[in-house]
Amino acid sequence: MHRLKNLIKSLDGKGYKEYKKLRGSYRFADFVLHIDHVQGDPFAAPSRIRIEIEKNIAKYPPIFLKTEAGKIATEDFILRKLYKYISKLSDKVGSGKSGLLSIQKPSSVILKQSAVVFREKSLEIRFFAGLPAFGRRINATGAEKIFFEKIPQIVYKAVIFNKYDLEKLKVHVQLKEHQTFIRKKLKELKLVCFIKDGAILPRETGISDKPLKDAIPFKSPDNLRISIHLPDGTYITGMGIREGVTLITGGGYHGKSTLLRAIIEGIYDHVPDDGREYVITIKEAHYIRAEDRRRVEKVNIKPFIDNLPKEIDTALFSTDNASGSTSQATNIQEGVELGARLLLLDEDTSATNFMTRDRRMQELVEKKKEPITPFLDRVRELYEKHGISTILVAGGIGDYLDVADTVIQMDTFLPQDVTERARAIVKNFPSHRKNETAGTPYTFTSRIPDPQSIHPEKGKREFKIDAPRRGIVVIGREEIDLTLLEEILTREQTRSIGYAILYLLRNGFIDGKTPFKTLAKIIDEIHPDRLSPFSYPMGELCEVRGDEVIKALNRLRTIRVFPEL
């Protein structure tokens, strides 16, 4: 500690680059301070600081760390407390980012992350500090204040366990453990999603994660309500959406898309008081939409689109500028390739000609002149022969009543089971349309990425990874647009996708032999901590599904792939 203080004093007034002499580890009374990376300029990205505290000093009750779910929830709890505390301590003094303190921003979901990590014998906190300067001269007084006043305050006020946080932490951990239990229970119950009675699904605004005040609480229809007994002896009730084909319908502004949005985000576990804590969706869910102009590389879309003009091969379809229908077919096929068990669609974001072709259009344009086989004619086959369920929001395409196992009508944000009524309508008002699969079976092709087509380097830099905002990831000189992928919730997840691709490439997993599905599983099984390409851990990475990492690779405009033989 004294060594650090003396070193800082000796640097006062010197050029900013002299701060690099601070890099190293310093022991304080109750923790070790690691200065892992020092910024080269007050206007550059802030310096990376790491605090290491022994578990017996941090004093978190071991009972909360016994399970993987408990450990993740406790780390998340600490991060949220740290974020609030550090935000209050951050104080710009001087040029550039001088004096600013920051840590990874938590979201509405509980994710594995790299800012707060319990190791075998210690707890590590990773955050950022803008080392103070006047102009480009070192401000030693400001630096001393950060290291000897603010950082100890962070440790004692926001890191070391406070008995007054016990009940809140208990709720946080118990919720995560319940969510983990229910998620495992879904398969046993043959469900793809569970939505608790009393859940608050609407959000405050289109860009807010906060629950809408005075929103109507969710209430399951009686015949779709199930009861789940939890490990602590309590039970909860709610709507179980069964495997198969489910249609969500209703009038405009009655909550159809709000329900689907909650189901999509249900692949992750939400925090207490979010309103969607017990909206639990199977992890193998994929949101499918039209995505005009996206890159497609050798995807087998033949089950949906065939006999294109100019004899284009749709068994290995490639384009730099996909249409609505070809992009939506591609998104389905890429999801199935990764092991999708649930497809989520909304007619509002789908290509109309991909979803259905009614009897009148079938008569007007004969099948041999129409290359598209509508999703309508594959949706039952996907479930019955491949175990892939579908949840579709539809307010205007009644042909899907013919193929739905369950029909849920949203009425003023409350669901009603109208399956029997829908079946009666189908019987009384037949569509008379023809199935257009013509007996051709559904297939997909597994693919392997070519490592030579991924270029993370930029100029003299070995790699360049950035995430300027949610859904935009930069790898080398290429920008990948993922803004339409609803499963990506945060900028931190976007950044993690970039580093996950780099991890797969640098560690030899992308080797020209390993298929996309295996690569996705590799990412699913590792902690985001391992994605750091540096000699020190990064504090701004978090959990993201391997599926989204592969979706990013699929949209990389330089990517080349080989069909798996």
Residue 185 token pair: 């229970």
Shared domain for 15 and 154, answered yes or no, is: yes
Shared domain for 329 and 410, answered yes or no, is: yes
Residue ending a domain, among 428, 456, 484, is 428
**In this structure, are residues 355 and 436 in contact, taking their beta carbons and an 8 Å threshold?**
no
Q: How far apart are CA 260 and CA 331, in angstroms?
A: 18
**In this structure, are residues 391 and 263 in contact, taking their beta carbons and an 8 Å threshold?**
yes
Residue 45 token pair: 């990205």
Residue 422 token pair: 């829908």
Range of the domain at 386: 285-428
Helix (H, G, I), strand (E, B) or coil at 164: helix
Residues 6+ apart with CB under 8 A from 446: 337, 515, 516, 517, 563, 564
Q: How far apart are CA 529 and CA 516, in angstroms?
A: 22
Shared domain for 340 and 376, answered yes or no, is: yes
- Tell me if 32 is assigned to some domain: yes
Structure-token match 């000699």, residue found: 535
**Closest to 4 measured CA to CA, from 37, 26, 28:** 26
pLDDT of residue 410: 97
Which pLDDT tens digits describe the chain residue by residue (565 residues)? Answer: 679 999 999 999 999 999 999 999 999 999 999 999 999 999 999 999 999 999 999 999 999 999 999 999 999 999 999 999 999 998 888 888 999 999 999 999 999 999 999 999 999 999 999 999 999 999 999 999 999 999 999 999 999 999 999 999 999 999 999 999 999 999 999 999 999 999 999 999 888 889 999 999 999 999 999 999 999 999 999 999 999 999 999 999 899 999 999 999 999 999 999 999 999 999 999 999 999 999 999 999 999 999 888 788 899 999 999 999 999 999 999 999 999 999 999 999 999 999 999 999 999 999 889 999 999 999 999 999 999 999 999 999 999 999 999 999 999 999 999 999 999 999 999 999 999 997 789 999 999 999 999 999 999 999 999 999 999 999 999 999 999 999 999 999 999 999 999 999 999 999 999 999 999 999 999 999 999 999 999 999 999 999 999 999 999 999 999 999 7
Residue 307 φ then ψ, to 5°? 55, 45
pLDDT of residue 95: 86
Shared domain for 303 and 424, answered yes or no, is: yes
Q: How far apart are CA 9 and CA 289, in angstroms?
A: 59
Residue ending a domain, among 98, 127, 161, is 161
- Tell me if 180 is assigned to some domain: no
**Closest to 524 measured CA to CA, from 550, 494, 505, 489:** 550
Shared domain for 412 and 457, answered yes or no, is: no
Residue ending a domain, among 112, 131, 161, is 161
Q: How far apart are CA 413 and CA 539, in angstroms?
A: 40
0.75 cut: is pTM over it? Answer: yes
Pair type for strands 235-242 and 191-196: antiparallel
Q: C-alpha 457: how far from its chain's center?
A: 25
Residue 467 token pair: 């995430």
Helix (H, G, I), strand (E, B) or coil at 154: helix
**Closest to 465 measured CA to CA, from 533, 519, 554:** 533
Q: How far apart are CA 107 and CA 87, in angstroms?
A: 15
Other Cβ atoms less than 10 A from the Cβ of 220: the count is 22
- Tell me if 177 is assigned to some domain: no
- Tell me if 488 is assigned to some domain: yes
pLDDT of residue 423: 97
Is the torsion defined by CA of 107, 113, 114, 117 positive or negative? positive
Helix (H) or strand (E) holding 522: helix 516-524
Shared domain for 384 and 461, answered yes or no, is: no
**In this structure, are residues 101 and 86 in contact, taking their beta carbons and an 8 Å threshold?**
yes
Partnered with residue 245 across adjacent β-strands are 390
- Tell me if 491 is assigned to some domain: yes
pLDDT of residue 440: 87
Is the torsion defined by CA of 201, 205, 208, 210 positive or negative? negative
Residue 183 token pair: 């998620």
Helix (H) or strand (E) holding 345: strand 342-346
Residue 138 token pair: 């070192």
DSSP state, residue 318? E
- Tell me if 234 is assigned to some domain: no
**Pure H helices in 387-482:** 419-428
Shared domain for 476 and 379, answered yes or no, is: no
Q: How far apart are CA 384 and CA 250, in angstroms?
A: 26
Q: Tell me how many domains the chain contains.
A: 3
Shared domain for 299 and 394, answered yes or no, is: yes
Shared domain for 130 and 55, answered yes or no, is: yes
180 half-sphere exposure, CB direction, 13 A CA radius: 16
**Closest to 489 measured CA to CA, from 332, 183, 340, 274:** 274
Shared domain for 406 and 305, answered yes or no, is: yes
Burial letters 421-441, b for 16+ CB under 10 A, else e: ebeeebeeeeeebeebeeeee
Residue 95 token pair: 């040029």
Other Cβ atoms less than 10 A from the Cβ of 292: the count is 14
Shared domain for 389 and 530, answered yes or no, is: no
Shared domain for 476 and 341, answered yes or no, is: no
pLDDT of residue 201: 97
- Tell me if 411 is assigned to some domain: yes
Other Cβ atoms less than 10 A from the Cβ of 68: the count is 12
Burial letters 382-420, b for 16+ CB under 10 A, else e: bbeeeebbbbbbbbebbbbbebbebbbbbeebbbebbbe
- Tell me if 509 is assigned to some domain: yes
Residue type at 240? Answer: G
Q: How far apart are CA 121 and CA 107, in angstroms?
A: 27
Partnered with residue 475 across adjacent β-strands are 465, 478
pLDDT of residue 1: 66
Length of the chain: 565
